[in-house]
Amino acid sequence: MSTSTHSPSISSERRNLGAILTDKRPLQVPPYQRSFSWTKNEIADLWDDLQGTLNEGEDNYFLGSMVFISKPDNFLEVVDGQQRLATISLFLAAIRDGFKMVGDKERAGHVEIPYLCSRDLKTMQASPKLLLNEVDNDIYSKIIESSLSFEEIKVVSKNKELPESNRLVATTYVILYELVQKKSGGFTEIEYLSNLVEIITDNILCIQIITNSEDSAYVLFETLNDRGIDLTLSDLLKNFLFSKAGTRRLDEVKHKWIETTTLIGQEYMKSFIRHEWMSRFGQTREKELYKKIKDEIRSTPKVIDYVNSLKESAIVYDAIRNSDHEIWSKHGQKCRNLLEEILLLGTVQCYPLIMSTYFAKSKELETVLRWIVNLTIRYSIIGGKGTGNLETTYARASSTMRKDNYKLKDVKEILLNIWPNDDEFKTSFNQKTLTTPKIIRHILAKIEIYISGDDSLIPNPESLTVEHILPKRPGSEWPTRMRSEDYLKEHCNRIGNLTILTDPMNRDCESKGFDFKKGIYKEAKYKLTTSLCKHSEWNEDRITERQTELADIAAKIWVM
């Protein structure tokens, strides 16, 4: 097998792990690859599979495909396969150290050279065959080179001051060492240990794919990788950006990426990357996102521009999730309050539009935030409609906002395409039941402020409690039919049966009859609640009538 440095080439070969590990070319994980991440679950799966191969006499165990780039300096860069290669190497290191424990230096040496280390003939210095990234390589190499005792490695595995990936490397070794020790009777069953080494080096097979083209390597990585976008999008993009950054700009790109990830949080990076892209380019499906980014960013200058844009957008994205963030101070308390409402209502599809508004024309931010809140109430909370059209609409509005010649009315018209009109909204409202206390408090508080004209009455909706006029567990004062499970299921959580009280008043009302409750309601400071005293009885007709009245009021509150 040979590769040309002048034109891309790809070769693939079925090989056992022993052949890959004993290749004269060192294996090196590039600095932009993600750190070691295997946990107890993956280790347990590997152990069980190998024990099954050993005990059941199966010929081979297939470990999937691995992708490498052949580098001019005569080493293989590991694009896909580092987790498996590192774990297998730690496995062999544990067996080697087991041989050493019982004084079998000859067999320990047979495992160490050539599977774990290669030896320089001039200096006789041994060095690891596999090198991990700069975060993990120090602890990994110390284990492979036998620089640490088992007890010292165990301490590392529990040291929370170290990066998590360092602890995972150490933990993997500790788990495998203890499993082998237990299975081999304290490393005394030489035949078992020897068979285990043979299984690992001769019977574990993979497809080794080698190319001299970085582009080809990453296309293969995407094609072969089956872990799904939740786990790979951020890693794929990071790998691609770092590989395109160039040697001189790599540290700069890495620094920006780390800053961005720290701001957003690794678990939210997929959503952020997608929302940031949609805020500029419109609706983009998860499956096509990476390809679109890669097609757009093909040079070092574009990589620099992109990571700078990501960092700038990350600050805003982080602030969207925190209405107290300092960047909102220049926009006033109304914007903060609207952001709080958006967070409370739980809509995330609007984040691209908020970012676009902030960057394109921030003076319109309050208007756009109000549209988002009102659309969320009409379309999602009361209308109960799905998120597909909502996401597409916000994406269109976001990319429109970024155009040089955009007008705010263009954005409004896009949102109006899915805006439920008053008749639709009232119909949905009349049929709506609500069970989430924070949503109920928010809606009823807004209605109370509208009918009383005094927003100082409810400085904080969290101070309210939701009162079910027909209680969830009605006492004997209520008619038997209204206490039935079916009746309560149909009527108890309807908006027309809900009002607001302070907590002490609410406790006094628990399970009581309507006449008793009216005595408490008349002492409330909320018109929404005191108005209930005009009714002589409470039943399904009163609930329906009140819900219709509230629907009419709601249609006047949440407007475009």
3 state SS for 3-65: CCCCCCCEEEEEEEHHHHHCCCCCEECCCCCCCCCCCHHHHHHHHHHHHHHHHHCCCCEEEEE
Strand pairing of 117-119 and 61-70?
A: unpaired
Determine if the peptide bond prior to 26 is cis (ω within 30°).
Answer: no
Rounded Cα distance, 266 and 370, in Å: 30
Contact between 462 and 425 (Cβ < 8 Å): no
Torsion angle defined by CA atoms of residues 523, 528, 534 and 540, in that order, rounded to the nearest 10 degrees: -120
Where is mean pLDDT largest: 20-24, 119-123, 217-221? Answer: 20-24
Q: What are the strands, taking DSSP E only, across 124-214? A: 126-128, 130-131, 204-211
pLDDT at residue number 216: 64
Measured between alpha carbons, how far apart are the two ends of the chain, in Å?
67
Contact between 355 and 275 (Cβ < 8 Å): yes
Residue 539: band (very low, low, confident or very high) from pLDDT cuts 50, 70, 90: very high
Q: What is the mean pLDDT of residues 132-141?
A: 92
Rounded Cα distance, 445 and 371, in Å: 19
Distance of CA 374 to the CA centre of its chain: 27
Q: Name the residue among 188, 92, 209, 78 with its Cα closest to residue 140.
A: 92
Q: Tell me: the pLDDT tens digits for 353-366?
A: 999 999 987 789 99
Residue 99: band (very low, low, confident or very high) from pLDDT cuts 50, 70, 90: very high
The lowest-confidence range among 23-32, 209-218, 398-407, 500-509 is 209-218
- What Rg value do the Cα atoms of the chain yield, rounded? 32
pLDDT tops 60 at residue 236: yes
CB < 8 Å & 24+ apart, contacts of 315-321: 315/263, 316/354, 316/355, 316/358, 316/359, 317/263, 317/264, 317/272, 317/275, 317/276, 317/351, 317/355, 318/263, 318/264, 320/351, 320/354, 320/355
Where is mean pLDDT largest: 75-84, 163-172, 262-271? Answer: 163-172
Rounded Cα distance, 124 and 418, in Å: 73
Q: Domain locations in the chain? A: 10-222, 227-320, 326-420, 428-557
Helix (H) or strand (E) holding 498: strand 498-501
pLDDT at residue number 5: 42
Q: Name the residue among 40, 167, 173, 22 with its Cα closest to residue 98.
A: 173
Higher pLDDT among residues 208 and 459, named by residue: 208
Higher pLDDT among residues 386 and 55, named by residue: 386
Q: Tell me: the pLDDT tens digits for 326-354?
A: 999 999 999 999 999 999 999 999 999 99
Angle between helices 164-183 and 190-198 (to 10 degrees): 130
Rounded Cα distance, 105 and 94, in Å: 14
Side chain identity, residue 91: F
CA atoms within 13 A on the CB side of 468: 19
- The conformational region for residue 124 under phi > 0 = left, psi -120 to 50 = alpha, else beta, is left
Residue 221: band (very low, low, confident or very high) from pLDDT cuts 50, 70, 90: low
The contacts of residue 238 (CB under 8 Å, 6+ apart) are 32, 34, 257
pLDDT at residue number 50: 85
pLDDT tops 90 at residue 295: no
Rounded Cα distance, 181 and 98, in Å: 7
DSSP structure class, residue 301: H
pLDDT tops 90 at residue 222: no
pLDDT at residue number 258: 86
Q: Name the residue among 459, 408, 433, 446 with its Cα closest to residue 528.
A: 446
Helix (H) or strand (E) holding 68: strand 61-70
- Token pair of 405, please? 């010649």
Rounded Cα distance, 68 and 52, in Å: 29
Collapse the DSSP code of 161 into the 3-class scheme (helix H, G, I; strand E, B; otherwise coil) and give the result: coil
Higher pLDDT among residues 133 and 32, named by residue: 133
Q: What is the mean pLDDT of residues 407-416?
A: 93
Q: What is the mean pLDDT of residues 184-210?
A: 92
Residues forming beta bridges with residue 10, ordered by sequence position: 211
The lowest-confidence range among 54-58, 72-76, 373-377, 434-438 is 54-58
Q: What is the mean pLDDT of residues 201-213?
A: 87
pLDDT at residue number 334: 92
pLDDT at residue number 240: 80
Higher pLDDT among residues 358 and 242, named by residue: 358
Q: Does the predicted model carry a pTM greater than 0.95?
A: no
Q: What is the mean pLDDT of residues 322-327?
A: 90
pLDDT tops 50 at residue 231: no
- What is the dihedral sign for C-alpha 40, 46, 49, 50? negative
- Token pair of 238, please? 């990071």
Q: What is the mean pLDDT of residues 459-477?
A: 86
